[in-house]
């Protein structure tokens, strides 16, 4: 039985590896086969000789993870559960009841039902508490978020009975919701930020990102957009083709958007498609140290063609292409097979040492420590990796992310360690939920339009003091009056954003956020100069 299991593992390797590439197959036939047999021998020895019982699935997974750990920082293995969870935000949809929710005191509170989604259709509204699912309690039983999500999700057209507690209603309400396909949006916000200036915030690069951005541009053009701010701050990437789709909106048709090349992967060029919605207007792309992968393809392509102004801080520097290799049990290996290059020939991958992922992950912290995030002259550019943009012939650099055209330093004068600790300890979100839950009707009555909220709302003192009091109970306090003032200022800004999100949606969150974000504000200044 055990031998059969190990033989199956061996055969799985034999079946998977030939599909990687023809060159890989040639290596497999002579040298690699010896190492595969070596691994099989070790596994068989463990199964037949080891003193105690063995979790063979764990041993196999640990072996795979161990092999990949000695390669580059981005080759990885995920089990079936991890793979599903990882892919879902990128796939464009899932099947469920269609609510945005958060947890407060072990109770699910609906933040917003999905517009025209299954929950909205039956009458579930913001502020509702879902306390039972198919007669089983989910409130007050210390059920974790993932377990609740598994209960709420299910196949399209399946029914689920929900017990709901609503403020002002004495008895529990009962709803039967027919599950449906729920879209997963990657465009968090799209609105006119200033007269003639559109703003699009992109969260990640998923299966529907290209069409989402296209529709957002069409909408903003109808509202008078003449120039666009594309916000890729903190966007860690996603699907490569989504980056090409976005570049297609701005660059001429058939322009080389990016190319990939590796030892076993011949050069492959990806080009823009025929239909672009915004090939003439001014574009500013916002990036920071957490903008990575597909974000760097977009910002690098816009820079190489002198099509848009890049504003912010040097990007992460991930220029490695991972090929997914599906395994029979639903798990997946993401194996680095190539580098990707911007149209000018830049490889944006930052340096790394194989097997030293921990040091690689500390790179952003290292940038902070040596001053790069605050001072542009602290950035060391490699003169051997200088390239020219394709239209104006400007010098740009590869080998370590995308260097912006306009540098915006990290504002350390506003940093408060106390605020950072409050934020990390999950004090703010529950406080916002309680506040909105109590004042939702009065707030919406007072601020009938969001514009009124944007101009007039200030976080009340009792909310601020309540957060500080709870922080004190957790031994989090400002060290002096100066830090207290900074903490309060940061709290006011974040609370205004979060309350807007709870009363309306993420679009309104970013409308508030844009008014104080230094990189957004600098982009507006640069657009004024261009005009």
**So what's the pLDDT on residue 22?**
41
Judged against a pLDDT cut of 70, whether residue 10 lies above it is answered with no
Q: What is the pLDDT of residues 176-189, one digit of tens each?
A: 999 998 888 899 99
Judged against a pLDDT cut of 90, whether residue 284 lies above it is answered with yes
* Identified catalytic residue from 245, 304, 363, 517: 304
Exposed / middle / buried, residue 49 (Cβ in 10 Å: 0-12, 13-18, 19+): exposed
- Known catalytic membership, residue 69: no
Name residue 325's beta-bridge partners.
333
**So what's the pLDDT on residue 460?**
96
Cα Rg for the chain, rounded, in angstroms?
Answer: 26
Contact 201, 188 (CB under 8 A): yes
* Identified catalytic residue from 318, 357, 486, 496: 318
- Known catalytic membership, residue 293: yes
* Identified catalytic residue from 75, 293, 295, 331: 293
**So what's the pLDDT on residue 104?**
82
Q: What is the pLDDT of residues 481-491, one digit of tens each?
A: 999 999 999 99
On average, the pLDDT of the chain sits at 89
**So what's the pLDDT on residue 27?**
52
**Band (507; pLDDT cuts 50, 70, 90):** very high
- Give the DSSP letter string of 335-364: EEEEEEE-TTS-B-PPP--TT-HHHHHTHH
Judged against a pLDDT cut of 50, whether residue 25 lies above it is answered with no
Judged against a pLDDT cut of 70, whether residue 12 lies above it is answered with no
- Known catalytic membership, residue 304: yes
Whether the pTM exceeds 0.85: the reply is yes
Judged against a pLDDT cut of 90, whether residue 217 lies above it is answered with yes
Three-state DSSP class for residue 524: helix
Q: What is the pLDDT of residues 408-446, one digit of tens each?
A: 999 988 889 999 999 988 899 889 989 999 999 999 999
**So what's the pLDDT on residue 339?**
93
Judged against a pLDDT cut of 90, whether residue 404 lies above it is answered with yes
Q: pLDDT exceeding 70 applies to what percent of the chain?
A: 93
Judged against a pLDDT cut of 50, whether residue 450 lies above it is answered with yes
Name residue 96's beta-bridge partners.
180
Judged against a pLDDT cut of 90, whether residue 105 lies above it is answered with no
Contact 76, 68 (CB under 8 A): yes
């Amino acid at each position: 039985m055990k031998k059969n299991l190990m033989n199956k593992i061996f055969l799985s390797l034999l079946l998977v590896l030939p599909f990687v590439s023809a060159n890989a197959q040639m290596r497999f036939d002579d040298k690699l086969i010896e190492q595969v047999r070596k691994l099989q021998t070790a596994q068989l020895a463990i199964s037949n000789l080891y003193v105690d019982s063995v979790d063979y699935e764990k041993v196999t997974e640990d072996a795979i993870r161990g092999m990949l750990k000695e390669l580059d920082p981005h080759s990885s293995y995920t089990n079936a559960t991890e793979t599903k969870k990882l892919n879902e935000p990128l796939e464009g949809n899932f099947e469920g009841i269609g609510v945005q929710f958060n947890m407060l005191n072990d109770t699910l509170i609906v933040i917003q039902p999905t517009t025209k989604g299954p929950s909205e259709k039956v009458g579930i509204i913001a502020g509702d508490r879902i306390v039972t699912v198919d007669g089983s309690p989910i409130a007050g039983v210390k059920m974790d978020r993932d377990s609740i999500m598994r209960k709420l999700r299910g196949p399209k057209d399946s029914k689920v009975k929900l017990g709901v507690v609503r403020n002002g209603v004495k008895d529990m309400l009962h709803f039967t919701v027919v599950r449906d396909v729920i879209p997963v949006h990657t465009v968090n916000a799209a609105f006119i930020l200033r007269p003639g200036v559109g703003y699009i915030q992109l969260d990640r690069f998923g299966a529907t990102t290209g069409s989402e951005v296209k529709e957002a541009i069409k909408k903003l053009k109808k509202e008078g957009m003449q120039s666009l701010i594309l916000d890729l701050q903190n966007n860690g990437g996603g699907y490569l083709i989504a980056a090409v789709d976005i570049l297609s909106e701005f660059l001429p048709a058939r322009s080389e958007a990016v190319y990939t090349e590796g030892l076993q992967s011949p050069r492959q060029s990806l080009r823009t498609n025929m239909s672009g919605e915004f090939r003439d207007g001014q574009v500013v792309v916002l990036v920071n140290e957490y903008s990575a992968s597909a974000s760097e393809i977009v910002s690098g392509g816009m820079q190489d063609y002198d099509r848009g102004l890049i504003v912010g801080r040097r990007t992460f520097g991930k220029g490695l292409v991972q090929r997914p290799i599906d395994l029979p049990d639903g798990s997946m290996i993401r194996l680095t097979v190539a580098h990707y290059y911007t149209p000018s020939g830049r490889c944006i991958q930052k340096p790394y040492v194989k097997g030293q992922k921990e040091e690689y992950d500390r790179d952003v912290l290292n940038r902070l420590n040596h001053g790069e995030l605050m001072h542009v002259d602290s950035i060391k550019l490699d003169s051997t990796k200088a390239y020219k943009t394709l239209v104006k012939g400007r010098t740009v650099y590869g080998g370590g992310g995308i260097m912006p055209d306009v540098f915006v330093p990290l504002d350390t004068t506003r940093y408060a360690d106390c605020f950072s600790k409050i934020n990390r300890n999950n004090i703010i979100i529950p406080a916002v939920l309680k506040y909105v839950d109590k004042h939702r009707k009065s707030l919406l009555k007072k601020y009938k339009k969001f514009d009124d909220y944007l101009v007039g709302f200030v976080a009340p003192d009792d909310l601020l003091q309540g957060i500080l009091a709870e922080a004190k109970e957790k031994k989090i306090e400002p060290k002096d009056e100066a830090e207290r003032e900074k903490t309060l200022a940061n709290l006011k800004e974040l609370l205004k954003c979060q309350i807007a999100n709870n009363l309306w949606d993420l679009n309104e969150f970013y409308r508030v956020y844009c008014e104080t974000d230094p990189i957004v504000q600098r982009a507006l200044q640069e657009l004024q100069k261009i005009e």
